[in-house]
Structure 1
Amino acid sequence: MRGLFTGNRGIIHRPDGTLGTARWSHKHWLVCTLTHPKGRYHGPMPDRGWSALFFLDEAVALTAGHRPCHYCRRDAYRAWAAAWARATGAPPERMAMDSALHHARVTRTRQQVRHQAECDTLPDYSFILWNDRAHMVHTDALHPYTPDGYGTPVPRPKGKVIVLTPAPTVNVLAAGYVPLRHPSVEV
């Protein structure tokens, strides 16, 4: 299964289709539809075309540091931008959002930026590391992530936890942005 969404970080593959050492070629990490709005298909790793990444759902893509694409997901982008403005008090300018997200998602040595928070303060659809495994927070439960869907929910823990979702994205979720989720999440 390839997931519900694709992601764009630019061209990060070699001519033979394998990934090189780069994990991005620009700061505009986007969550895109699986099909191009104009019906175009370039394949997952074409020469001189962006490298397609696949995400189970939008909550996973947001945790990876992506934001909705303003071209193929215009309504989602508008909702994201409005939540960004509510969360930050700043106008939702794409370059500024992407720069803030970039600093909050990865270090210069390509390590994921993680932070801590009280679990009961986290908004739905945030991801945490719990028992050495990624879990999505939803209502009073944690949903363990697998590449094929979410597992059986477990009770949400109390106290500080390691948050995998970038801090600006946590704030956007808290400001009301609701990502599209895989059907394995009980809503």
Structure 2
Amino acid sequence: MPLQNRVQPTGEIIAHPARGGFMGNRGILHDENGLHPRRRWVHQNWVCCRLEFKGRRRKLMAPRCYTELFFLDEAVAFAAGHRPCAECRRADYEAFRNCCEIGGPAAALDKVLHVERAVARRFLQKRHAGFAAADLPEGSFILDESGQCGVIAGDTFHPYRPDGYAAPKPRPLGEVTLLTPPSIINAFRAGYRPQILVGAGG
């Protein structure tokens, strides 16, 4: 039976059997019964990690250990508000920081991202309306006019599914709701290229 640890670009954490491409950490979100019904983060240091690093092995959702979260790809992790880990993904972290407008230590970046990604005290995803789809960079996760969640890649819109992406559609016209935090979008504009598993499952 799959564990409830698969993060969706819309902010939900679901149980799904498909394997993720990246792992994440927000602290201890589970107890002996599984994922806590309301807790969705403990700290603001939301990182996106490699699945393998220095041969380390972990028992998933072990007592008193951080909850291992998983994402289909890096674009989903960014949509959920995570940024590259400075330890296991040092080169990606430095590339992201070089493209990011937020200076200072990692804690300063995490503080800004947290304001952009989370609704305080409600454990919900913050969304950003009124963005022109035509101007968004590759890797941006949006809700289109119909409420469909998906990622922008080139001139196409790839509807999201937990096991991959459905067949692409033309990039939407007009304004859309942005899921990826605006500061991360700015890093994309400045040259950071997120990994997107387009074509998987669709």
TM-score (norm 1): 0.91
> Which of 107, 117, 120 matches 1:105?
117
Task: Give CA deviations for 1:137-173 in whole Å, capped at 9, x if unaligned.
Answer: 1111101111111111101122111111111111111
Residue equivalent to 1:125: 139
Instruction: Tell me the distance in 1 between the aligned counterparts of 2:155 and 2:137.
Output: 10
Which of the residues 9, 19, 29 maps onto 1:12?
29
- Please give the alpha-carbon distance, in whole angstroms, between the structure 2 residues aligned to 1:31 and 1:151: 24
Distance 2:191 2:60 in 1: 32
* Equivalenced residues, count: 180
Pick aligned residue for 1:150 from 165, 168, 172: 165
Return the offset for 1:47.
1.2
The letter for the 2-side match of 1:23 is R
Aligned equivalents of 1:18, 1:128: Cα separation in 2 = 26
Deviation at 1:111, TM superposition (A): 2.2
CA RMSD of aligned residues (A): 1.4
Matches of 1:117 and 1:73, distance apart in 2: 30
- 1:117 touches 1:161 (CA, 8 Å); kept in 2? yes
Task: Give the AA of the match of 2:196.
Answer: R
- CA separation in 2, counterparts of 1:38 and 1:138? 32
Give the 3 Å change call, closer, same or farther, for CA 39–17 of structure 1 in structure 2. farther
TM-score (norm 2): 0.84
Q: Percent identity?
A: 43
Q: Residue in 1 aligned with 2:108?
A: 96
Runs of 4+ in structure 1 over 4 Å off: none
Query: What per-residue deviation string (whole Å, max 9, x for no partner) do you get for residues 82-136 of structure 1?
Result: 111xxx2x42520110000000001112221111211111111001102222110
Is the helix fraction higher in 1 or 2? 1
The Cα of 1:21 is off from its aligned counterpart by 1.8
Unaligned ranges ≥5, structure 1: none
SS in structure 2 at match of 1:77: helix
1:163 aligned partner: 178
Indicate if the aligned counterparts of 1:42 and 1:49 stay in contact, CA closer than 8 A.
no
Q: Does 1:67 align with 2:83?
A: yes
Residue 16 (structure 1) shift: 3.7
After the TM superposition, which of the residue ranges 131-140 and 11-20 deviates more from structure 2? 11-20
> Which runs of 5 or more structure 2 residues have no equivalent in the other structure?
1-17
